[in-house]
Amino acid sequence: MLFSSMTFLFVFLPVTLAVYYLAPAQMRNLVMLAASLFFYAWGEPVYIILMLLSILMNYYCGLDIDGKRNSPQLARRSLIFAVAANVLVLGFFKYYGLIMETVNGTLPVDIPYRVLPLPIGISFYTFQALSYIVDVYRGEARAQKKFTWFASYICMFPQLIAGPIIRYVDIEEQLRQRSFGIVKFGRGAMFFIRGLAKKVVIANSIGTVYEQVMQLPVGTVSVLTSWVGCLAYAFQIYFDFSGYSDMAVGLGKMFGFEFRRNFHYPYVSKSITEFWRRWHISLSTWFREYVYIPLGGNRCGGQRNMVNLILVWALTGLWHGAEWNFLFWGLYYGVLLILEKHVWGALMDRLPGVIQHIYTFVLVMVGWVFFFSPDLGSALDYIGMMFGMGASALADRQAVFLLTTHWLLFLLCILGSSSIGWTILRAFMESYKKGRTQRIMSCVIYMGIFLVSVAFLVTETFNPFLYFRF
């Protein structure tokens, strides 16, 4: 079940909210758990058993580690077991096909195997479970003794499918007690509506431009057309994923929770380092806290630091997908971050801001090619076209047609991917006198955005969600 579906908007969400707020305060975590399990079972009726087993295992592992605080060696053994079990489950379902394909391709064998469908959200809820286990071991959190509360944390439906990845220490107190109110609910609804519009109105629309470019025969694509296709994908994945994250944050507020933002206008960045501080913030934070810093972080020497960065970004790439191009994508960013940190970072800081923006945006565009290509060879071919190798021409009628017929959509993408769009919307609402009139106009504007989004849902058949792959 997608947030951007009629079933969710007009059946699941209203019913869940009604039951949640009518239930006694001490029963609301149970209501959230039941709703989350139903939400997951709607799309993955088989793999819900896998998620429940993961919850049970991590619940008892957390209690076991917590009970061994006075025996560091025993606690460490329990930690190793829990981490290994989580990694093995994730690795089996996500990378079994890649491993077997690689073995059959490199060795003189032909081992039969079956490609397993990837359980939805397994990368996200596994990482949340790992953060919980490690935080309990570190003493940063106490093991949750109430099973329903712990299960609610792992499979909370607002962020179950695509994050943001939530650390247990950030939500521990909220499971016990959280604030409610019409103001907080209203802010949550506004977040949700903005995210819905990002996904349905912008991401789906610009995604059709990307699909048009991808359907062009090989050898007929010009340099300009290839850049238009890549740009369209860059906007599609941003509005798709950030829109879904905004909906998750908004839903959290509507149910009394506070989740941290997951995106902060990444395309305005002046460096690759800054880009990854703004893009998928919860994932970057997770890898920093649970992989990079334990490996030594910035405390170790230059060579060791480079190795740590390469390792972290190789894992980041593989987390996104079980294909060699995802690994290359991760290594690509690892190398760029090393170069910024140890080679040309100081030089870049002295360049004009516009040059820094262009530098970052071009490198990010190249990175997205590895991300959307079916394999590494296809990615390299497409990048070659972007820089004139294998392209049919510098520009062609197809590129002009796409730009002239979709210029307003591209303008909307530019405004929406920076703070300019939100600034314009907020300024318009604040142009009315503060008080009742402003509140009424805000309601009218957001209701209008919601109705437009619903209209797009009703009339469109193109409604993919890119991060279902991960």
Given 144, 160, 178, which residue is the final one in a domain?
178
CA 32/CA 153 separation, integer angstroms? 9
**Contact yes or no for 395/222 (Cβ under 8 A):** yes
Q: Are residues 198 and 153 in the same domain?
A: no
pLDDT average, residue stretch 140-163: 90
Q: Clarify whether residues 216 and 157 are in a common domain.
A: no
Residue 169 belongs to some domain of the structure: yes
Are residues 370 and 432 part of one domain?
Answer: yes
Are residues 55 and 170 located together in one domain of the fold? yes
Domain assignment present for 1:
no
Whether residue 320 lies in the annotated active site: yes
Residue 469 lies in a domain: no
Active-site residue (options: 264, 280, 320, 357): 320
Q: What is the pLDDT of residues 252-302, one digit of tens each?
A: 999 999 998 899 999 999 999 999 999 999 999 999 999 998 888 777 777
Evaluate whether residue 468 is within a structural domain: no
Q: Are residues 135 and 192 in the same domain?
A: no
Report yes or no on 467 lying in a domain. no
pTM of the model: 0.91
Confidence band, pLDDT 50/70/90 cuts, at residue 466: low
152 within domain boundaries: yes
3-state class (DSSP) for residue 143: coil
Query: Are 299 and 284 in the same domain?
Result: yes
| Amino acid (one-letter) located at 12 | F
Q: Would you say residue 155 lies in a domain? A: yes
Alpha carbons 302 and 282: distance in angstroms, whole number: 26
In angstroms, the CA 437 to CA 430 distance is 10
**Structural domain range at position 93:** 6-178
Lowest-pLDDT range, 17-21, 343-347, 351-355, 450-454? 343-347
Give the pair of three-digit tokens for residue 143: 């093991």
* Closest to 72 (Cα-Cα) out of 130, 133, 137: 137
pLDDT score at 467: 56
Query: Is 464 part of a structural domain of the chain?
Result: no
